[in-house]
Structure 1
């Protein structure tokens, strides 16, 4: 069976049956299963057209929703720029990065939609950014883009997406570290020192991963994201190195820091106490730390679910591809599509969850920020209105008191003059 599953240029057209399309790979790694010169179509070998449409339109809808929420968050950040300080400020940076990811996802989705609408062949599927129309089968299906580094537009979209994704992980780690340090010390460190260190870590950590992935040409089309993403070539080792490992490290590190911070706060009983120091010293209050910890826990849940989706794909993708090839060989299928197995539905579920995890964090951030901003705004407005009314009442009372005091002084002065006139027999002074 291993000999049958080794695809060469001579027998590629024989083994590339079912949904597979012959493809002359420029890389030495297998493209599909153990095959080097067979590629799945851009809609994927395991997805039906209905499932692809669900993925495509759900991605577009969630991208639009995330972009709207990101714009609202950006507006709130701009009008409250001076009030937002560490450790809450990086959360708004993550919201901006989420806005960039959603925008790139929307551009990729609209690119495929417009190409599909402008296609002259009605049987042609959506020629998205993740498709390579240089190779097509007799169903007029394009292959899934394999060498994404050769496509400048694809490489640009990938660079923006991947850098934003890793920047979210790095900034999340920075937020958790600042939360832990601040919850222990209960005061901010030097602002300039904290600002420089956090920004260097948040923006520079993703750069080595990005350049390494681009140098190895670990870029290909992704049916799930409908855009250019980390390739599954080389037995999915690229996804292991550039997605699963960084995501696992970030999840583990942040989980340890969160548990350590909760344990320290509970041990010292600081979750019951608030600060009594002056706000002029820029001390961090307990509600601020509580809001940051809530955000970190929400981010932990979303990223943990995303990691589970990638682990499922990494563990079962190769076995599913091998079973797919064995099914083709045993059934001698040449042109008809093989029936989906039980594992293929799980691939669709994990694909939906991946799309949801990439887009839902923007909505969660908006709900988190709106709750904070609305409460702060309402409290400020109420406090400002009450203070203004109290000041007006105090001013009126002071004016009345001053008038009464002046009248009293005048009355006393007149009474004194009358008494003096009686004693000296002189007429009193006319007022």
Structure 2
């Protein structure tokens, strides 16, 4: 189903049209097959990189697209509509670029950003650990200062592109063990360094083509200029990156929900029972109407948050709201799509069962939806106190 969009430049219109063409011709047709086989779509990311879609919100001077976040997120939505592993992969890659782009030195940007945002490299974001998921400040991976740099020891968990990435944006403790959020630093870590490895990929209920694995650091030596931003001030960088990353997940969720609605709507017009298309029956028609309404509301919420970000205004509360609403909507929409298709919806002959399994993870990554509610509540309490 065509989605009406308001874009502010001819360049943005062309960019979105290019994305739709890539999705419809090269991405969506292989999604089911590669998900079944658990094949990692590295070649798709190379194609997206060659098309300029891996660095859209970053400066053109470093090879990025120079696009506002409002445009970038709509591209992510279209990619996720075709294949969540690809849409989510682009969102995670963009997240991994953010710390160096926003907090790195001019020398670091010149050295690393062209490869990161220009499409040659694929990144991963290393924050979570087995004992510090939602409580990210409790991480224990340590970067010990040496005379000329750092030595890293520890393990990260649930890392998208773990073992497949060309570089890792790492958060590790440089302060005292009990220093909490005040003793965490950010590092740029190229793949292939001695002592850097990956655990076996996780066996998941969905997203089989998106590799998720632990990343292991065993005496990994980093030069001093691997540090991004100030030492012991990396937790603020992590939180700032996650605000933007939550908008990427919201866009992915809307894409998945839209794909489910498109499939359910087409089926409801073709499937006939009792002499009529099932979409003409109120029970089905109302489900489709609710799906379309919730998807449209979720899309407008993430776009509104993106416009705040583009204007340089605070958007953390709105990002959490967008992530919460969009991912809950994706779960409802995919579940309802299975119901509309009935027995066929439960089979792998149609994509909605896969979309339903994929939607679930979006309620968990980049902060669970319970954490989003906590974030929103804290924002509200602060605003009430200021009033």
- TM-score, structure 1 as length reference: 0.30
The structure that is strand-richer by fraction is 2
The structure with the largest helix share of the pair is: 1
The structure number with the bigger radius of gyration is 1
Q: Relative contact order: is structure 1 or structure 2 higher (C-alpha 8 Å, sep ≥ 6)? A: 1
